[in-house]
């Protein structure tokens, strides 16, 4: 069985994606080819398994000569055979090495020619994730500010290096004790990081396995709808983290990935001060900052993470002059129209061109013409109407069908083109002698998918088959005894 790392729902090992939130499912240890504890890779001996992910496994390892213990992150062998997936895996190492910051996990080496195994070496951390801390108790404001200041300080360095993290969430904020200081932050997992600039001045982006880049609950509206993202997407994700730390709950909750997409695009979170179960009252400027980060329109959020860091510093020191210099986005109490474009990937909406949601004055109160600003915002940069899916299987040569249909789309490896959409598509992947797999992909952006096919278990023959048939023979009552020998 595989367990979704986001919602913790259990699935058979043949499935690769969670049907609730679209998260990539980790493979069960018994069904993959990852090396067991005790294996020696290069100069390192694997001592224990620290964690599992959709693309890899993290081991506690020890350098054979020096005796230093490290964390070794291994790309699963079935993915290591795919050049594009392998390149994405090592982009995390390159991204982190480009930054070098005390609040970012240190990666010291990586190996991409170790037989079938590709891995890199990180510092071994002893502590807990912010997610684990939040599950135990709500955070007081002073502790929230201490953690948030370190996260934003790290992000200032990340963005200055031209990198967007794209997967900020409490699970990627690790808290350790460092130099006698508790709650020292280490920012983790740049596996879906995007290098915004290259030497040629063109964007360098990485593509996730599947079509979902990031974790849906913490993704910005532009990210969840498949549009281009920049550093302001990280600011939105940080807003979700701040809200969760302050309130003990996420700003938006949904039962499915599609519902979460719609809420990120259309629903304004409830102000923390409206909640009745806060640990302590939030300072007004902190509440304003959190909601400012959660603006749907990137142009209405803080435009740099440095601004967020400076505002948090002012809150931490209680500097009234600094706090007064930052004000939330102007909100007229008069009647306004909120325009919602037909943005790519809006689930369940077929033809939404410009919907005006009207709030404010009573029905009979006159509205001056100058206040009825119905001009929609400037159109965002257009995105290609089609996306490309590169679909491969291990072993190769599998037939790919549309789910529930008998039309053959091709044989792996193959490339397919579809209209851009956040509505999931399901593909049936079949190969003689192997179990068929139904693969779900959200076609919101270009994607690379590798499907691992398990061999079928041969049916018993001869004497064993007769024993099995006898054991399953119905009793006179017409039922089958499941405990029959």
Catalytic residues: 167
Burial class (CB in 10 A: 0-12, 13-18, 19+), 385: exposed
Select from 39, 170, 56 the least CA-distant residue to 120. 56
**Is 323 in a helix, a strand, or coil?**
helix
CA gyration radius, the chain: 25
Phi-psi region of 201 (alpha: psi -120 to 50; beta: other; left: phi over 0): left
From CA 444, how far away is CA 450, in angstroms rounded?
A: 17
Tokens of residue 263, six digits = 């809420």
Phi/psi of residue 215, nearest 5 degrees = -115, 120
- The β-bridge partners of 59 are 49, 72
From CA 189, how far away is CA 414, in angstroms rounded?
A: 30
The structure tokens 């397919």 sit at 416
From CA 233, how far away is CA 318, in angstroms rounded?
A: 28
The DSSP annotation for 125-187 comes to --EEEHHHHHHH-PPPHHHHHHHHHHHHHHHHHHHHTTEE-----GGGEEEEEETTEEEEEEE
Using DSSP bridges, classify how beta strands 107-114 and 69-75 pair: parallel, antiparallel or unpaired. unpaired
Neighbours of 304 (CB within 10 A): 16
Query: Tell me, what DSSP letter sits at residue 370?
Result: G
- Tell me, rounded to whole angstroms, the distance of Cα 264 from its chain centroid: 14
From CA 383, how far away is CA 214, in angstroms rounded?
A: 19
From CA 14, how far away is CA 32, in angstroms rounded?
A: 12
Q: What angle do CA 443, 23, 297 make, to 5 degrees?
A: 65
Tokens of residue 15, six digits = 């499935």
Select from 390, 412, 415, 416 the least CA-distant residue to 400. 412
From CA 80, how far away is CA 87, in angstroms rounded?
A: 9
From CA 287, how far away is CA 250, in angstroms rounded?
A: 14
CB within 8 Å of 50: residues ≥ 6 apart: 58, 59, 60, 71
The CA-to-CA distance between both ends of the chain, in Å, stands at: 26
- Tell me, rounded to whole angstroms, the distance of Cα 169 from its chain centroid: 8
């Amino acid at each position: 069985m595989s367990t979704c790392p986001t919602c913790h729902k259990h699935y058979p090992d043949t499935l690769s994606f969670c049907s609730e939130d679209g998260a990539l499912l980790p493979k069960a240890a018994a069904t993959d080819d990852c090396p067991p504890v005790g294996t020696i890779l290069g100069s390192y001996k694997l001592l224990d398994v620290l964690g599992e992910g959709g693309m890899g496994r993290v081991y506690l390892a020890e350098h054979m000569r020096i005796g230093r213990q490290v964390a070794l992150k291994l790309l699963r062998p079935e993915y290591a055979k795919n050049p594009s997936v392998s390149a994405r895996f090592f982009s995390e190492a390159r991204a982190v090495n480009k930054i070098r910051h005390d609040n970012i996990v240190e990666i010291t080496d990586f190996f991409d020619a170790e037989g079938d195994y590709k891995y890199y070496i990180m510092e071994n951390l002893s502590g807990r994730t912010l997610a684990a801390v939040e599950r135990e108790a709500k955070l007081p404001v002073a502790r929230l500010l201490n953690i948030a200041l370190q996260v934003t300080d790290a992000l200032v360095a990340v963005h200055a290096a031209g990198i967007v993290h794209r997967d900020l969430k409490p699970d990627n904020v690790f808290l350790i004790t460092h130099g006698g200081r508790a709650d020292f932050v280490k920012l983790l997992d740049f596996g879906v990081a995007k290098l915004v600039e290259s030497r040629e001045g063109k964007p360098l982006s990485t593509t996730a396995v599947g079509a979902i880049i990031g974790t849906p609950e913490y993704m910005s509206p532009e990210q969840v709808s498949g549009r281009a993202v920049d550093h302001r997407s990280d600011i939105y994700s940080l807003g979700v983290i701040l809200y969760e730390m302050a309130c003990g709950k996420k700003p938006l909750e949904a039962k499915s990935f599609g519902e979460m997409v719609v809420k990120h695009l259309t629903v304004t979170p409830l102000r923390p001060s409206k909640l009745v179960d806060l640990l302590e009252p939030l300072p007004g400027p902190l509440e304003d900052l959190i909601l400012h980060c959660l603006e749907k329109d990137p142009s209405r959020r803080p435009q740099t993470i440095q601004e967020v860091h400076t505002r948090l510093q002012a809150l931490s020191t209680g500097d009234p002059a600094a706090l007064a210099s930052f004000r939330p986005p102007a909100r007229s109490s008069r009647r306004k129209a909120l325009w919602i474009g037909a943005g790519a990937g809006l689930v369940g909406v077929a033809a939404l061109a410009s919907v005006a949601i009207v709030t404010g004055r009573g029905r009979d109160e006159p509205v001056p013409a100058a206040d009825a600003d119905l001009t929609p915002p400037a159109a965002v940069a257009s995105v290609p109407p089609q996306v490309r899916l590169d679909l491969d299987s291990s072993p190769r040569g599998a037939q790919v069908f549309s789910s529930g249909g008998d039309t053959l789309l091709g044989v792996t490896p193959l490339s397919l083109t579809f209209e851009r959409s956040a509505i999931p598509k399901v593909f049936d992947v079949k190969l003689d002698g192997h179990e068929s797999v139904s693969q779900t992909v959200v076609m919101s952006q270009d994607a690379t998918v590798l499907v691992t096919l398990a061999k079928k278990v041969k049916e018993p023959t001869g004497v064993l088959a007769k024993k099995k048939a006898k054991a399953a023979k119905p009793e006179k009552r017409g039922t089958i005894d499941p405990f029959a020998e």
